[in-house]
Amino acid sequence: MLVTKHAAELCALLVNDLYGELPSRILITLLTKGRSTIAQLVQHTSLTPRHLRNGLAVLIQQNLLYHHTNPDTNVISYEANPGACYNLVRSGKILEIVDRQHGTAERELVQTLMLLGHARIADLSQAFGSRAPKANGHTNGNHDSHNGLIESENHLNSVLGRLLRAEIIETVRPDSFRNPTDVHREIEDDVLKTALGEKTASKNKAESQRQIIDRFRTFRDQGKMLKRQLDATGGFVSKRRKLENGRAQNGHTYDEDAPQLNPNVVVRLNHERCLVELRNQRLAGFAADMLGEVTGEVYRAVLDLLTTNFSRCRPDVLLDEETISQQVAVTTVDILEHLDESINVQSGIGKASKDKIDSESAERVRTTPPDEDYDSDDSDAAPPGRRPVLRTFDIGDDDDDDFGEDDENSAGATNGDRETKVKFEGSAPPKDTRLSQLRQHLLLLTESKHQFIRHCGTFGRGQWTVDFTQLMERLRETELDAMIEQCHGRHGLRLTRILREKGKLDEKMLPSAALMKKGDVQGKMLAMQMAGLVDVQEVPRDNSRLANRTLFFWFFDKERSQTQALDDIYKAMVRCLQTLQVERHKERNILSFVERKDVQGKEEEVMTAEHYNKYNMHLEVQSKLLGQVMKLDELVAVLRDY
Amino acid sequence: MSRGGRGGGRGGRGGGRGGRPNVPWDTGDEPDARPSELFPPYLVPTQKALSIAEKRGIQHLLLLRHQIHGGPLYTSKRTSLNDPTAPRKLYGQAQMNARYDVKNKASLDPFTAVPTYSSKFVREERALPDWTQRPVCRELFPTELLDIIDAAAAASTTPGTYKRRRLELTNISALPSAEEAFGMEGDDEGQGRNLLERLDAMKDEDGVEGGELEDEEGMEEEEQDEAYDDEDAGDYDAENYFDNGDEFGEDYGDEGDGEGTF
């Protein structure tokens, strides 16, 4: 990952805020100067070697560095890991989602791991094991088991096992601290060296390429070895938290006979898997914004089911593997089982009369993901006027008693000619109705212009899948559009969309295409060019290269505008954090007072309403600034990581 | 000379052609060359209110930060040099680093450097992380850092003699909220418990590092404070320093008389 100036500043600021000044000073040098040895760092930072070693050790403890000992020369080099540094900003979100998805005990363990960086299982179990009796003796009875925190070694063991199986926690080995690019290159060198003796035919090349990929994959998946073993033995049944029901069970029921984990294994948080969970949340939020709360919840259930086995959001570039070849799909029945009981699927669906619904096209099964350019003729199967209007179809509205029939011919031709029955609101809906209503939500998600899910089979009342790559591309486009509209207004957005559709467009064509005045177009385009969104290409018509004999083609470079936007966002985040620093400095007296160990005892003497108000105000400002950083991070995640 | 002439000629030719070339960006009207407004009206975008999930995320982050700051590996040396509001003198990072953890007269803050009673409650600043309280995974660190992070193990040559460190969980479980810090919390029970915890924590820390000595110092200081307490306009009251001119005279007179009589 290449870092820009602002990204480097951001990383250093985050480390400064969380882990202190010494590591941050070293980190910024490592980011600007690249891979260095201690001797070089001494020169670059003017810190003493003793300070440096301490700082480097802290950074390694928190997994923020790559380091490598050259086996021939015994020279040790250090390199910053900007991805890990950036992930610090997501700590709060990750904790929140782990708390929501898995439970409080899991959240506590993850928080402890964030605090420690990495830890040996033996140390963890000793620490958690020794904590419980102490807490008991302190305030007997007050230590309630309802708070869901980890209570005993056994409990820890089961929590750890579950998180390991969910891949949220991974194992660490000395190799994990090597830069993956380095490892890849080393493997490549190794493979090509042995193959050098023979003639390098094209067949050989493909063979060695495959070998490289295999070996790199084994390197990358070493962190998941323990997970594999657990999967094989079948221990720690992964249990997802359902909102109400799960909470009651979570505190107590942990399998006592869970297999003991190897105490010598070192574990840490796996950010890549956490990103998958964050992406699910983001997408569910997106769907909720577009289609309504209940549909969002349904979508969330679908995503949870689909991504249980995903270990990362994007395929690894070093592996150049194609996107997940066999599509995973879930059936409607599975979704219904997974869906929280408390969600009322009845709401959030509109009603439309039967003749307005083209059930054939609504229920159409698409077995392959639609191509990007094929997209427009995708709809040609349905006659133009009969496409169902968004949110207004309810094919299954009254088929609560002929569900079997509906299953066979999902086109539902027989449904159309029946009168809609009157429903009694008070009576509890039978399961079947719930299922068909759930299907309405799923169809709604399919039918949306963002194509949240794809109907890919008819088994089990319909199979559904998500084309993540295309979907994320659309989400990215939406975000970018929103950003352009914010900065350059409606007209700017219109112009960029025209350019995106047409590719390169002659300047003379632009005003007529956009239905705008020539002057307005030019002003807008110049402003956007200065912002780095669009650019112009000059093509001379003849050798004279006169301005009036030249064609000017405007174009919109998506890749570049995304990186540009990313850098802007990093900068905004840096500014937010810097503002927070200044705010903290302004209120430093109150803050240091609050942090004092004795404040609790003497508050009557020292407390004044003025200070109290000031402190409260500061907390508000702090949460606003941090909230802004989190929102910006959401954008970064969409543009870069998901 | 010939160069000058040629240059002039070209300029003349360019100007002489007259009229602007027909370029596509020419709209015919003159650019607006008036100076722009100094403070143009600007619509400041405001943030949407934070959702509950976001708030919880922030709370988690802040709690984590608080815990890390309470942990043994956090280092900070916030000197007055580090004031973000002061105009920044650009000495460069290297020069700033060279001053890190240097204790001399220049790096002292004259207003806070004199130890006071209350300074014992202020969280101490650490310039170097404290590795003695953490078990570390030796195999994950490069060899040249081992004697820093695990000095005891490096010193003991025989493997059996070294006692394993124990990992301790943080005892910080909540953020200091305004209510708590300023005693505005309603329920007494929670407050009492917090007080207990806090007292415990103080006992632990003081017990280890010569708390008695500090206490004595503190006592002394307190006594001194009382001695010099100027609660009711104190010992230096210029106007009433000599209680009363007349009385003084009288007293003197009396005494004088008395002395005289003796």
Which of the 8 DSSP states describes residue A20? B
Q: For A410, list phi and psi in degrees, rounded to 5.
A: -70, -5
User: Kindly report the CA angle at A384 between A381 and A390, in degrees rounded to 5?
Assistant: 100
Residue B260 has pLDDT above 50, yes or no: no
Spatial separation of the C-alpha atoms in residues A93 and A627, rounded to whole Å: 11
**β-bridge pairing A505-506 and A463-465:** unpaired
CB contact under 8 A, A595 and B97: no
Residue B10 has pLDDT above 80, yes or no: no
* Strands lying side by side in the sheet with A169-172: A118-120, A266-269, A169-172
pLDDT computed for residue B240 by the predictor: 61
Which of B21, B58, B149 is facing A546, going by the closest CB pair? B21
Between chain A and chain B, the number of residue pairs with CB atoms below 8 A apart is: 251
Using 50, 70 and 90 to split pLDDT, how confident is the model at B153?
low
Spatial separation of the C-alpha atoms in residues B83 and B77, rounded to whole Å: 12
Residue B253 has pLDDT above 50, yes or no: no
Residues of A in contact with B143 (CB under 8 A): 69, 76
Q: Give average pLDDT by consecutive 10-residue segment, chain A, 642 residues.
A: 84 90 89 90 87 91 90 90 92 92 89 90 84 47 53 82 87 87 87 66 74 84 78 60 39 52 86 91 90 89 86 74 63 83 76 70 71 43 39 39 37 40 47 78 85 82 85 90 90 92 88 88 89 89 84 90 91 93 85 69 61 86 93 92 84
Q: pLDDT tens, A39-84?
A: 999 988 888 888 899 999 999 999 999 999 888 888 999 999 999 9
| pTM score | 0.76
CB contact under 8 A, B181 and A622: no
**β-bridge pairing A266-269 and A118-120:** antiparallel
| B106-120 per-residue burial string, b: 16 or more CB within 10 A, e: under 16 | eeeeeeeeeeebeeb
pLDDT computed for residue A134 by the predictor: 45
CB contact under 8 A, B182 and A603: yes
Spatial separation of the C-alpha atoms in residues A340 and A241, rounded to whole Å: 10
Q: Which of B91, B97, B171 best probes binding to A when mutated, by most A CB atoms within 10 angstroms?
A: B97
Q: pLDDT tens, A387-444?
A: 334 443 344 333 333 333 333 333 333 344 444 444 444 444 556 678 888 888 888 8
Task: Report the run of H or E that residue A457 belongs to, with start and end.
Answer: strand A454-457
pLDDT computed for residue A625 by the predictor: 94
CA A217 to chain centre: 22
Which of A29, A123, A612 is facing B167, going by the closest CB pair? A123
Contacts of A580 (CB under 8 A, 6+ apart): A621, A622, A625, A626
Helix A609-636 / helix A91-101 crossing angle, nearest 10 deg: 80
SS3 B239: coil
CB contact under 8 A, A600 and B145: no
Q: How many CA atoms lie within 13 A of A263 on its CB side?
A: 8
pLDDT computed for residue B221 by the predictor: 42
Nearest residue to A453 (alpha-carbon basis) of A637, A613, A585, A330: A330
Nearest residue to B137 (alpha-carbon basis) of A479, A118, A571, A456: A118
Asked if A557 and A631 touch (Cβ cutoff 8 Å), the reply is no
Residue A355 tokens, joined: 């003749």
Which of B71, B139, B198 is facing A597, going by the closest CB pair? B198
Asked if A480 and A489 touch (Cβ cutoff 8 Å), the reply is no
Residue B24 has pLDDT above 50, yes or no: yes
ipTM surpassing 0.85, yes or no? no
Percentage of chain B with pLDDT > 90? Answer: 4
Mean per-residue pLDDT for B192-206? 49
**How far A312 CA lies from chain B's nearest CA (Å)?**
22
Residues of A in contact with B169 (CB under 8 A): 112, 127-128, 131
Spatial separation of the C-alpha atoms in residues B143 and B145, rounded to whole Å: 5
pLDDT computed for residue A522 by the predictor: 87
Longest CA pairwise span in chain A (Å): 92
CB contact under 8 A, B73 and A58: yes
Contacts of B30 (CB under 8 A, 6+ apart): none
Q: Which of A22, A604, A608 best probes binding to B when mutated, by most B CB atoms within 10 angstroms?
A: A22
CB contact under 8 A, B83 and A615: no
**How far A355 CA lies from chain B's nearest CA (Å)?**
41
Asked if A455 and A464 touch (Cβ cutoff 8 Å), the reply is yes
CA A494 to chain centre: 29
